[in-house]
Amino acid sequence: MRKTQWFTRALVALSLPLSAEAEVPKVAVDITPLHSLVAQVMAGAGEPNLLVRPGASPHGYSLSPSEAEALQEADLVFWIGDDLTPWMEKSLENLASNAQVIEMLDISGTTTYPFREGATFEGHDHGHAGEADGKENHHKEDHHNHGHDHHYEGVDPHAWLDPANARRWLDVIAKALSEEDPQNAALYAGNANEGKRIIDDISLRVEATVDEMGDREFIVFHDAYQYFEKRFGIAAAGAISIGDASDPGPARIREIRERVAELNVQCVFTEPQYNPDMVRTVFEGTGVNTSAVMDPLGADLTPGPTLYPELIRGLAGSLRSCFGLEG
């Protein structure tokens, strides 16, 4: 009798619906800004796994055993694309063959730009937003900087620095999660809408800062910020390094120094992923402020839903600080 009762109870337990938590898909995301957007959408249901640890350069990276395991177990994978993390394509093939993989640069309606040419971006167009049919405009052109430090082709992958792209991606993230987990579809949609509201608020604050800046000139460490610049109507006067994986050659350094003198550049921004001593050496004796930091990844921010808006606000804050603006 006891055995029969136990068996009956076991059948009843198995017939009960699984909890919402048990149904939440396992999600892996490559970098912290995108991880933040996914975390915003998943808030209240679950948390995504971050693959590239904060502070590391995503261009060349080796997954730790725990990161590889998170990728292998994922039902959904969100990543920027192979223009940012070329090593990840093979990892996806080997470890995540059964997962749904969404490449953000391939999402319809995403604004993309090609890499800019030259240390001072002279003669370069201002890029193109998505085509009329809603498809993003990917440029597969060959690009060389004036000093021939490094060869780059394809899309500039730093598309998350355009808040309009982030807004678009929130909807795509919510849709993908809802397809995997219909029970929480309303939660995902509501979280995405709240994320868009927060982004809109931050964007208005950045616009106010940019208006206050006027025509002040600045140089960035590497050309990672054109999405931010073009969205808010500002423009860096140049970049020390053309991309994440290259060091500047002598010709490029000479061109940058000439540009600094010509335009009376006041600020040069370093990045936490790279040695600031190079920047100080390049601009020694010019009187330029080289103590300011601008970070496209939010290396010093805590991963999670608040990181993305803090990242965008932080870029504007770095400009304010470097130029000595009050507030």
* Residue that has been written with the tokens 């055995």 in this structure: 3
Give one DSSP letter per residue of 63-109, joined into a string.
--HHHHHHHHH-SEEEE--TTT-TTHHHHHHHH-TTSEEEEGGGSTT
Domain residue limits, the chain: 22-322
Tokens for 196? 């868009």
* CA-closest candidate to residue 309, choices 170, 128, 214: 170
Highest mean predicted confidence (pLDDT) among 116-120, 199-203, 212-216: 199-203
Give mean pLDDT, residues 133-143.
Answer: 36
**CA distance linking residue 177 with residue 172, whole number of Å:** 9
Is residue 223 predicted with pLDDT exceeding 90?
Answer: no
pLDDT tens digits for range 1-42: 444 444 444 444 444 444 444 589 999 999 999 999 999 999
Which is higher by pLDDT, 295 or 168?
168
pLDDT tens digits for range 141-191: 333 333 333 345 689 999 999 999 999 999 999 999 999 999 999 999 999
Note the pTM of the prediction, 2 decimals: 0.81
**CA distance linking residue 165 with residue 125, whole number of Å:** 20
End-to-end Cα distance, the chain: 77
Residue-level pLDDT at 291: 81
Residue-level pLDDT at 12: 40
Tokens for 210? 């940019």
Helix ranges (H only) for the chain are: 2-15, 20-23, 32-42, 65-73, 88-95, 163-180, 185-213, 226-232, 250-263, 276-282, 307-322
Residue-level pLDDT at 87: 95
Q: Specify the CATH class of 22-322 in words.
A: alpha beta
